[in-house]
Amino acid sequence: MSEKKQNESISDLPDYFLNSSVKSPISENATQYKRLLNRAVEDKESLHSSNRIVDTLIYGMDISK
């Protein structure tokens, strides 16, 4: 396994992966899968940096668990 391959980012995945015999959850629909992945890559940063996607309420309940 080359270092280049190891460092390959998800968004750079070549088509050969999608066309390989490896079964993925949606391997039957590679185009939809790739579109989903691209969106996931775009959203990944916002997901991991904060879960406050929207935060419009100024006041609210102080409830603790």
Q: Which residues bind another protein (CB under 8 A)?
A: 1, 5-6, 8, 10, 13, 17, 20, 22, 24-25, 36-37, 39-41, 43-44, 46-47, 51-57, 59-65
Measured from the CB of residue 62, what is the shortest distance to another protein in angstroms?
4
Measured from the CB of residue 31, what is the shortest distance to another protein in angstroms?
15
Residue closest to 13 by CA, chosen among 29, 28, 35: 35
Cα-to-chain-centroid distance, residue 58: 30
Measured from the CB of residue 36, what is the shortest distance to another protein in angstroms?
6
2 Ramachandran zone, left/alpha/beta (phi>0; psi -120 to 50) = beta
